[in-house]
Amino acid sequence: MKSLTNINPIDTGRRDFIKHAGTLGTAGVLFSTFPWLQSCKEEEKMKVDKQKVKLAIIGTGSRGQYHMNNLLKMDHVEVVALCDNYAPNLSIASAIFPHARTFDDYHKLLECKDIQAVLIAAPLFAHAPLTIDALAAGKHVFCEKSMALTLDDCLAMYRAYKNSGKVLYIGQQRLFDTKYLKAMEMIHKGVLGDVCGVRSYWFRNNDWKRPVTSPDLEKQINWRLYKDLSGGLMTELATHQLQVGNWAMQMIPDKIMGTGSIVHWKDEREVYDNVSLIYSYANGVTMNYESLISNKFNGLEEQILGTKGTVELEKGRYYFDEAEPAPGIMQLINQIEHKVLDDVAFAGPSWVPETANVNKGFLIDENASTTSGSSSVGAVGDGSFELLEAFCTSAITGENAPNLVEEAYYSSVLALLGLQAIEEQRVITFPDAYKIPYLNFM
Ligand SMILES: NC(=O)c1ccc[n+]([C@@H]2O[C@H](COP(=O)([O-])OP(=O)(O)OC[C@H]3O[C@@H](n4cnc5c(N)ncnc54)[C@H](O)[C@@H]3O)[C@@H](O)[C@H]2O)c1
């Protein structure tokens, strides 16, 4: 078995690392930690050599188009059909895949026997019916996050998947992002000590609205802003970051409390433009979550706080609480530029907090890309490509990505429980009825 000390997180590029994960998978090291990477293993790719999955896309709006542009660069897929009930988006999609059949009703599309798999990039409220119907029709499914708008629908999707024998992927791309994989290895190996806190936030400064040509189209286009169609910041942004917190903790929180309000964007919207929550784990650690869209000073981040140091996953950096890490730790992680940290400049009478965050820290992966988090479509190099490519492989082999749906399920459910805590102004205990077998939360 290859020892973790031999894994040099900076000596390989993004896709090489995932390949590397595959080879290690056979030895049970990385693969046992990140089992959803199974389809990235070289032997899995060899199984699908020269094969193409016949894929249909349902929902051809901005995220659907982002995926389409990635699909153009993939070998093991042929896009054979497109579906949207909003004609302008369908015609944009049709220009990208001119040979694909077009549908305005997904039921008709699901009747096509040649279609093996569907990619669902429709709004949240449509995820559960589309996914459940597609699985029932015998299709493999990739559905965008979050899973669903209600707890019952999340559970119904999970059960439909378990009963179907088909492949289901949910769009939690951080699970395929190299800098996250490397960081999680460090965290789980204890390089930063024991995890004693999680802080995540996503700040933007824009109204989150899209232009509409007629008032009749307001809800079709701006579905994110209405409570019967969307969970707002919690289901659109927080799901990604709650998943990261649980991944780092290897636990699911059991208590949730929070507040939310419309502070600035006082238009016809119904969803909060400002949320602040605490998720509490059974071992006493808390994950603090904040999001608002009327100030972007803080940007976006997931900070995993350890007793010896901190990881900032979005920036792809880690920091030790003491300025110079112990030599043993440096040897263990076998990486990084080995630069002595810059001296902190002390000048003038300002108060200097007792903090390590004035350090520049170390890059987790020097090849990794970072994003401002301001786009509602997605960023290049954030794991989305690898996630979808892995789905195409799985849809050919019929082999699922272990733990992927469970990670997505719990982040979706926790986002919804967060909303419930806000609405009901009380501390919510994770309800037993919505627990599924996973981690230590059976
Ligand atoms: N993983 C990520 O980072 C990421 C990024 C952006 C969006 N998303 C997710 O992708 C999904 C789509 O978001 P978007 O910004 O592309 O939305 P969008 O409004 O731009 O596009 C959704 C499309 O689905 C179509 N649609 C709605 N109901 C339909 C139905 N029943 N049948 C067929 N088509 C239907 C709409 O007409 C629209 O064209 C959302 O769930 C969102 O959360 C994920």
Could you report the per-residue pLDDT of 345-390, keeping only the tens digit for each? Answer: 445 555 555 666 667 888 988 776 666 666 666 666 899 999 999 9
pLDDT at 145: 98
CATH top-level class of 35-174: alpha beta
Q: Is the CB of 237 under 6 A from ligand 1?
A: no
Please list the residue range(s) of the chain that carry CATH number 3.30.360.10: 12-22+178-321+356-376+403-434
Residue 294 gets which letter from DSSP? B
CATH class of 12-22+178-321+356-376+403-434: alpha beta
Is there an atom of ligand 1 within 6 Å of 77 CB?
no
Binned at pLDDT 50, 70 and 90, residue 336 comes out as very low
Beta carbon of 59 within 6 Å of any ligand 1 atom:
yes
Q: How far is the CA of 326 from the centre of ligand 1 (A)?
A: 48
Lowest mean pLDDT among 139-153, 177-191, 314-328: 314-328
Q: Ligand 1 center to residue 384 CA distance, Å? A: 15
Return the residue whose CA atom lies nearest to atom 32 of ligand 1: 84
Place of tokens 């987790």: 364
Compute CA distances 242 → 12, 309, 411, 412, whole Å: 28, 20, 6, 8
Q: What mean pLDDT is predicted for residues 304-316?
A: 95
CA 30 – CA 371 distance, rounded (Å) = 26
Rg for the chain (alpha carbons), in Å? 22
pLDDT reported for residue 10: 37
Task: Quote the ligand 1 centre to 425 CA distance (angstroms).
Answer: 30
Q: Which atom of ligand 1 is nearest to the CA of 90?
A: 39
Q: Is 121 in the pocket of ligand 1 (CB under 6 A)?
A: yes
- Per mean pLDDT, which range of 96-100, 318-322, 423-427 is the poorest? 318-322
Say if residue 2's pLDDT is above 60.
no
319 CA from centroid of ligand 1 (Å) = 37
Mean pLDDT, residues 143-165:
98
Q: What per-residue confidence (pLDDT) applies to 333?
A: 63
Probe residue for ligand 1, chosen from 83, 84, 180, 240 as the CB with the greatest number of ligand atoms within 8 Å: 84
The mean per-residue pLDDT over the stretch 125-136 comes to 98
Q: Is 392 exposed, middle or buried (0-12, 13-18, 19+ CB in 10 A)?
A: buried
Where in the sequence of the chain do the CATH 3.40.50.720 domains occur? Answer: 35-174
CA of 411 to the centre of ligand 1 (A): 19
Asked if the model's pLDDT at residue 29 lies above 60, the reply is no
Write the CB contacts of 41 (distance below 8 Å, at least 6 apart in sequence): 21, 22, 23, 25, 26, 31
- The pLDDT, as a whole number, for residue 25 is 39
> How confident is the model at residue 373, as a pLDDT?
63
Distance 400 CA to ligand 1 centre (A): 24
Q: How far apart are CA 179 and CA 181, in angstroms?
A: 5
